[in-house]
Amino acid sequence: MHTEISSNPLLQEWDTPRQTVPFSRIAEADYAPAIRKAIELSRNEVERIAMQADAPTFDNTMEALENSSRMLDRAAAVLFNLNECCTTDTLQAIVEELVPEITRFETGVWMDRRLYERVDSLWERRNALDLTAEQLQLIETYMQRFVRNGVNLDDDKKRQFAGNAERLSALTEQFGRNALNDTNDFTLHIVDADDLRGLPDTVVHAAREEAKKRGLDGWLFTLQAPSYRPFMTFAENRELRRQMWVAYNSRGNRAGGNDNNETIRQIVDLRLQQARLLGYGCYAAYSLQRTMAHDVETVEHFLDNLLQACEPHAVDDLRAVERYAHENGFEGALQCWDFSYWSEQLKKERYAFDSELLRPYFRLERVRQGIFHLYGVLYGLSFVENDNIEVYHPDVKAYEVFDGTDFLGVLYLDMFPRASKRSGAWMTDFRPQADMSCRRERPHIQIVCNFAKPVGDTPSLLSFDELTTFMHEFGHAMHGMLSRVHYPSLSGTSVKRDFVEMPSQVMENWCYEPEFLATFAQHYLTGETIPDEYVEKIVRSKYFMSGWLFLRQLNFGLTDMAFHTLEAPLTVAPEALEHSVMHELLPVVPGTCTSTAFTHIFAGGYAAGYYGYKWAEALDADIFSRFKRDGIFNKETAAAFRHEILEKGGSEPPAVLFRNFMGRDPDNGALLKRIESAL
């Protein structure tokens, strides 16, 4: 095993195509020594910056700090990305061991008064330094990080803040690990074919393959999205739907080794302590200071207004499903595990349309080419698969991205579920874009999804919701890929949390445009282009159950805020707190709890920020109104969106970027029009 520092591939310059990660050269035993050596190198560089006798300049302080942890950032990106999408027990143990050490180093940097005073000197003299807007933004970003990480605290409070930060980093990793393990621990084994009634053939075939893979007869269903979602939507066996629903919605809340209740309590209490140490009444007040919304009152007012608008319509949606179910033989009260099934049946009747009829037209390879083509039309990009770029799993594909003849970056696509990958879909990077005098790097971006794998002669076929998911994550990826800033701290998606979803949500709009669908949606067997009547039904059914779905998203935001506006330690079970704030229209099922597997807020970056999806929707509705006005393939509009927003990353405040593109401040009119259409 590679344990010697001199031969450790994570600490070497890579002679690979486009300097991509040489996955096959890296052994699990390489990570710990590489990370520790990288921390040592970074600490030495930071110490050199802090101790230098020369007066602070932008180059010797800001640029030097931006480059001081390059080796650590690179090695950590490989470790953490693989832990998310291709983990092992050993890798999880390594992460658990190293996260506190990395956090300890990073906290130490942000608490270093010597560094703070050098940056503060530049900030105080900023008007005399002839700095660019991006350079000013970088200094301001660093100033905020120093202050928000306790640089002005006294020594006792610094020690407490640093200890809390270290513990929090370990707890959030533990939360994600527990959620993944609990997702994998449940399976539904079916041996009676009658229990498969209603399920699409593709889902049944995938379940049979899953059973064979595990040495079982019959069919095996899991809590992974390609198995769970269609089961809840189409399975006629109500009791089995109940078992699946309860299992999915009790992840992390089933006691045993994967229970997340105590983990949540500690995370919430430590976050509150951190906020209090810095003078805030609650964690949300601390977190929101660096967002467009800025404060708790604004977010609560925003959520409350949306709640009042959508809840009556969510009730109407529920009543419509209840009426339909009872008219078609259902008896008793509708339960949580009934809603997806009966709403799908209602959708079929109302629109004379079975959503599963769309799947044959959304072959993954064709969808991918359609998205590639769209970005070619809008921005002149091309995507060239390169088999010489190493990947970490056979399912992953790597592409070089070009703007004409100019190389832009590398895009990895990891599309299929496995037990070693967490659920959901996300964009990340192995290397951000940078263009400093000492560091010019194009980004290496990754999209991770969990779509159904090909089975036999049947390729991977996406649902319409999965198509929009792919488009959403591709929007994030191109935000990172098209970045043209200088400093990695401001590149790509390094923007305010309630702005980051806007570029990705804008791209979802194309999925409802007939001109776009016609470019790729062809039946995988016949080659027939998706019929106009199907496209019309996609558009007509766009807002089906929108009140219900709108309320569901708001409930997640309300739950997030409930945990993070606490002004005293959490004394009730997460399950109880969640159900006390959610506006739930179906009977609450004891033992079920969204929060104990809510990785966005307890293992991701969305604490006190989940409202941002709806916040960004107001921006995306406004921005797409310009595309609709000018034409959805208008190259000039696309060029403006690219130049004014996608290329700028976090180099300027989001309000400025929006104003530069739209020529005015945001107008909620487009969102209100969308809501009126939906509700």
Tell me what the mean pLDDT of segment 561-586 comes to.
97
The whole-number pLDDT of residue 1 equals 38
Cβ within 8 Å of residue 8, ≥6 positions away: 2, 30, 33, 34, 37
- CB 82 within 8 Å of CB 421: no
Query: Across residues 583-589, what is the average pLDDT?
Result: 97
Does the structure show a pLDDT above 50 at 563? Answer: yes
pLDDT digits (tens, 9 = 90+) for 458-479: 999 999 999 999 999 999 999 9
Pairs from 396-403 (Cβ < 8 Å, separation ≥ 24):
398/20, 400/18, 401/481, 403/379
- CA-nearest of 3, 139, 174, 1 to 58 is 139
Q: Average pLDDT, whole number, for the chain? A: 95
Q: Which domains does the chain have, with CATH numbers?
A: 5-110+112-148 (1.20.1050.40), 186-248 (no CATH), 360-545+612-678 (1.10.1370.40)
234 neighbors 198 (Cβ within 8 angstroms): yes
pLDDT tens-digit readout, 349-407? 999 888 889 999 999 999 999 999 999 999 999 999 999 999 999 999 999 999 999 99
Task: Give the predicted TM-score (pTM) of the model.
Answer: 0.95
Strand 406-414 to strand 397-403: parallel, antiparallel, or no bridges (unpaired)? antiparallel
pLDDT greater than 70 at residue 678: no
Average pLDDT of the residues in 234-238:
98
| Backbone φ, ψ for residue 409 (5° rounding) | 165, -175
Q: What angle do CA 415, 417, 421 make, to 5 degrees?
A: 105
Average pLDDT over residues 531-549: 92
Residues contacting 623, CB < 8 A, separation 6+ = 502, 506, 641, 658, 661, 662
25-67 per-position pLDDT tens digit: 999 999 999 999 999 999 999 999 999 999 999 999 999 999 9
Distance (Å) of CA 416 to CA 63, 448, 449, 461, 568: 39, 8, 6, 12, 42
Beta bridge partners of 434: 441
- Tens digits of residue pLDDT in 598-614: 999 999 999 999 999 99
CA distance 415 to 598: 22
- Separation CA 224–CA 244 (nearest Å): 11
pLDDT band for 438, please (50, 70, 90 cuts).
Answer: confident
- Rounded to 10°, the helix 89-110/28-51 angle is 0
- Mean pLDDT score, 128-141: 97
CB-side neighbour CA atoms (13 Å) of 602: 29
Per-residue pLDDT tens over the stretch 311-335: 999 999 999 999 999 999 999 999 9
Angle between helix axes 133-148 and 113-124 (nearest 10 degrees) is 140
pLDDT (tens digit, 9 = 90+) per residue, 653-668?
999 999 999 999 887 6
pLDDT of the residue at 467: 97
Give pLDDT, residue 27.
Answer: 97
- CA geometry: angle 133, 139, 143, nearest 5 deg: 140
**CA 390, 223, 258: angle at the middle one, nearest 5?**
90
Catalytic residue flag (residue 617)? no
d(CA 184, CA 252) in angstroms, rounded, equals 11
Instruction: Name the pLDDT band for 3 (thresholds 50, 70, 90).
Output: very low
Beta bridge pairs of residue 426: 448
Among 389, 387, 391, 385, smallest CA distance to 23 is for 391
Q: What pLDDT shows up at residue 672?
A: 64
Say what the pLDDT of residue 679 is.
57
3-state secondary structure of 435: strand
Percent with pLDDT over 90 in the chain: 94
* pLDDT given at position 352: 86
Measure CA 274 to chain center: 25
Q: Is the pLDDT of residue 484 over 70?
A: yes
Q: Take residue 397 and report the two structure tokens written for it.
A: 């594909």
Residue 194 reports pLDDT greater than 70:
yes
**What pLDDT is attached to residue 74?**
97
Q: What 3-state DSSP class applies to 542?
A: coil
pLDDT confidence tier of residue 2, bands split at 50, 70 and 90? very low
Task: Evaluate whether 162 touches 150 at the Cβ level (below 8 Å).
Answer: yes
Q: Report the interhelical angle of 261-277 vs 546-564 (nearest 10°).
A: 60
Distance CA 650, CA 486 (A): 11
Give the rounded percent of residues in the chain with a pLDDT score beyond 70. Answer: 97
Residues 482 and 442 sit within 8 Å (Cβ to Cβ) = no
pLDDT of the residue at 542: 87
Predicted confidence (pLDDT) at residue 267 exceeds the cutoff of 50: yes
**pLDDT tops 80 at residue 671:** no
Identify the active-site residue in 210, 473, 513, 578: 473
Cα dist from 564 to 154, 163, 265, 435, whole Å: 25, 20, 11, 37
Location of structure tokens 């006294």: 154
